[in-house]
Amino acid sequence: MSDIFDEVEENVKADKLNQFWKMAWPFVLGGSIAIVGMVGAKSYFDDAAVAKMEANGRAFETGLKSLEIQDIEGARNHFGKVLDTDSGFADLSAQYLAQAELQLAGDTEAAANALKAAADGEGALAKLATIKAAYFLADTKTLSEIETALGDLVDDEGGFGALAHELIAAKAFDEGDLERARSEYQALTLRLNAPEGVRSRANEALAILPASVKVDAEADTAVTDETVVKVEAEQETVSEDASEGASGNQEDPS
């Protein structure tokens, strides 16, 4: 009799398992398909990213070869393909394209424009792009425009900030604003985090700058005061001599 009950119990368990499976199998199948799809999609996107990186690398390398053989159009074409991408080659391509525009075409404006995208980024390459673009424009733009081009770099506490202020000082000197140039150079000599070369050039510039207008004015005032004192002393001496002469004439019996 117990065997019959065992068989009945097993049949009940089997029926329940079949019912459960009928309800669950669509979810199990869907989950399996989703997992397979995710793995396939990840593999596809990984392959696509690698292919994209390889394409950008080839374009960058071809741009370097164009620059080496002085092919300005080739450099523009190949570096230009990489500029608008989000790969690590974009900022480097901007630097080399600017070099090509400057060396092969002699176009400082185009060289500065090539660096705009890189300058909008972050990190050392962005700061380098900003300072280079400002240097390219230094001969054709005003001091105010150069300061605008430098942007937040003037507030940088590192070496790039020091280079920015050195450029401002040089442009101020070029425009005849000697007081601004002197102020910038003096600040650079006291700037502990400025590169040694920047401080050295600042000292050399201060050595050849004309004397301060303020110092000249104080010297002129001192000379004028000294002259007035001398004139007054001479006038007093003349007056004393005249008085003594008059007294002598009065005592002469003839």
Write down the pLDDT at residue 254: 39
How buried is 19 (Cβ within 10 angstroms: 0-12 exposed, 13-18 middle, 19+ buried)?
exposed
Per-residue pLDDT of the chain (254 residues; tens, 9 = 90+): 444 444 445 554 555 556 655 665 565 555 555 565 555 544 544 566 677 888 888 888 999 999 899 999 999 999 988 888 877 788 888 999 999 998 898 999 999 999 887 888 888 888 989 999 999 999 899 999 999 999 999 999 999 999 999 999 999 999 999 999 999 999 999 998 899 999 999 999 999 998 775 544 444 444 445 544 454 555 555 455 545 544 444 444 43
Q: Compute the distance between CA of residue 151 and CA of residue 141 in angstroms, rounded to an integer.
A: 15
Three-state secondary structure readout of 23-87: HHHHHHHHHHHHHHHHHHHHHHHHHHHHHHHHHHHHHHHHHHHHHHCCCHHHHHHHHHHHHCCCC
CB 150 within 8 A of CB 167: yes
Write down the pLDDT at residue 242: 45
Write down the pLDDT at residue 7: 46
Q: Compute the distance between CA of residue 68 and CA of residue 57 in angstroms, rounded to an integer.
A: 17
Write down the pLDDT at residue 164: 94
Which 8-state DSSP code applies to residue 144?
A: H
**Largest CA-CA distance found in the chain, in angstroms, rounded:** 182
Write down the pLDDT at residue 240: 52
Write down the pLDDT at residue 190: 93
